[in-house]
A and B are shown apart, each in its own frame.
Chain A
């Protein structure tokens, strides 16, 4: 019984984390058709930005519980700075390239960003454990869970619900959906695609940074922390169907629970089972579980 509960809790928390790091990736792909490898590096930058901002907060004598403010603030800061730079300088001029070429471009950006992090923050690890330790832990059955991890669940819920509301109810969200559906027709109807691309890409960067910032207190912050995250995020997004928000949620839940089960029942399989699920989904339903079918062009 307690093991089932543990699997459920671990799975939910891991799924929440996966959703946070993957949802920006799927949004950017849906709108811009870019498989953004640099998402992983943006995640790293977000973690470092959180370290710096929280450090400044603590040094400035800010309230002890208020440290969550700079932690979350790291996301919009990174999104607003990094997003426009990457989009305007590198992605906009290359917009008409093939998807695979764009993926290479973002791979190059990933390499550049990872070393830029080293220039700015150095190579030594940072530790930002206050936000993690502050709320303490709670006992569920015979296991202690850090309360912070449940914050991840809240954050993922807020992001997911907020994004769903934005896309379905608000006017800008509907325009974004129109662009996802058909860029050219949306342009003909007067949608400013340049601006939407810029906004969506920056928002995607902010989501990656949020994932990094919220992860920063639970790990040691190192320059290469995004390398593994990006492939995990790919797995989640591919499983759900690239470009689909619901798909990212489903992919995150599937990967989260599969991994939690593996960790508790078959620890040897922990890492490769995720990619096995990804490969299997790709083999059975190539465009993911939730992606619409596409016509073959002649």
Chain B
């Protein structure tokens, strides 16, 4: 099974890497966004494995995007600098906030995360210098001498997002196999027993929280580059809800599941938005319900079931 799965995933990555040659530009644009959001969902998946549902994960998505935005405003347009500093900014914030948030469980964890993201949203809405509710455009971002924006920049941005997504997936996969990753899974069943095993639960939650935030931050930077525009809605609670939905849709079975969830949701949104603009939320809500009831382990479990039968 793992052999075949590895082969299957390699083929998938190869197909995605070849996307610039077979996808029309509009689809490539959606794919870039889906991969970036998948990265944020991947982080959220770590928390969900520990039984923690954050309804404010968009905070870090927004922080990453606005950190990149501020750097561009101050004249720095090198992508590598944006990515590193944007992620670093989220990591620092997550370290501070995580010290508090890691004490909370269940519904309180979700609501405190939401409150924190709404504080940030409230700030952005009122900050005239950052375009308040309209946000602002970022242009001229480049990687060394390769443009990352405009028509010429679309393919490099997509490929960069893909490379970073694959790296993140491999890294998180390793993390899940590590001692900490395995203990996180145990967290969901019984925290006290994890403590008895000699592992500080707070540190474990904090570690997952910081990694999750870092991924969301990087996703925010990538999203900002791909779209060329950032706005406060990136940190709104509905964006957080979208991330949660992606993880539920994909399932917790594998790192690739988060990207599957993000891909499917983005595709559904894009199609529904074009065909029936006033009912895409209905479709998304109904599939979320169906997923919770019929597929509690997400789309990934379908693949597994199929694989076992074959």
Contact = CB atoms under 8 A, between A and B. Distances in A.
B57 to A, nearest CB: 14
The residue in B100, B111, B122, B288 that gathers the most chain A C-beta atoms within 10 A of its C-beta is B111
A68 interface: no
Interface stretch (A14-22, A151-159, A161-169, A276-284): A276-284
Nearest to A273: B122
Interface stretch (A100-108, A127-135, A139-147, A197-205): A100-108
B107 A103 contact: yes
B304 interface: no
A259 to B, nearest CB: 11
Interface of A is mostly: helix
Nearest to B283: A115
B112 A279 contact: yes
B281 A94 contact: no
Contact of A99 (B107, B126, B237, B245): B107
Nearest to B238: A227
A105 B120 CA distance: 26
Contact of A107 (B51, B111, B241, B286): B241
Q: A interface, how many residues as a size bin?
A: 35 or more
A179 interface: no
B285 A115 contact: yes
Contact of A112 (B237, B241, B282): B282
Interface in A248-283: 268-276, 278-279, 282-283
Contacts of B241: 107
A154 to B, nearest CB: 30
Given A104-B248, A268-B126, A276-B119, A99 B289 contact: no
A39 B111 CA distance: 15
B262 interface: no
A112 B285 contact: yes
Interface string A66-102: 0000000000000000000000001001100111110
A275 B289 contact: no
Interface string B102-144: 0110111011101110111111011000000000000000000
Interface in B261-299: 278-282, 284-286, 288-289, 292-293
A167 to B, nearest CB: 23
Contacts, number: 122
A55 interface: no
A165 to B, nearest CB: 29
Contacts of B51: 100
A109 B292 CA distance: 12
A31 to B, nearest CB: 15
Contact of B282 (A98, A116, A270): A116
B125 A100 contact: no
A104 B292 contact: yes
Contacts of B146: none
A227 B288 CA distance: 18
B122 A119 contact: no
Contacts of B110: 35, 100, 103
B285 A272 contact: no
A282 B288 contact: no
Interface string B137-157: 000000000000000000000
B129 to A, nearest CB: 11
Contacts of B106: 98-100
Given A101-B292, A119-B278, A283-B100, A111 B118 contact: no
A105 B281 contact: no
Contact of B125 (A99, A105, A271, A282): A271
A48 interface: no
A107 B107 CA distance: 14
Given A94-B293, A100-B107, A271 B285 contact: no
Contacts of B103: 286
Contacts of A270: 122, 126
Interface stretch (A170-178, A209-217, A231-239): A231-239
B126 A112 contact: no
B244 interface: yes
B167 interface: no
Interface in B79-120: 100, 103-104, 106-108, 110-112, 114-116, 118-120
Given A100-B110, A108-B288, A272 B115 contact: no
B126 A111 contact: no
B187 interface: no
Given A100-B53, A272-B119, A275-B119, A108 B285 contact: yes
B244 A275 contact: no
Nearest to A276: B119
A274 B122 contact: yes
A118 B126 contact: no
Contacts of B23: none
Contacts of A286: 103-104, 108, 112
Given A107-B241, A235-B115, A282-B111, A269 B126 contact: yes
Given A104-B244, A116-B282, A272-B122, A234 B288 contact: no
Given A98-B106, A115-B279, A286-B103, 19 more contacts: A94-B293, A97-B292, A104-B53, A104-B244, A107-B285, A109-B289, A111-B281, A111-B285, A112-B286, A115-B280, A235-B118, A242-B107, A270-B126, A271-B125, A275-B121, A275-B122, A279-B115, A282-B108, A286-B112
11 contacts: A103-B107, A107-B241, A108-B288, A111-B288, A115-B279, A271-B121, A272-B123, A273-B122, A279-B112, A283-B100, A298-B192
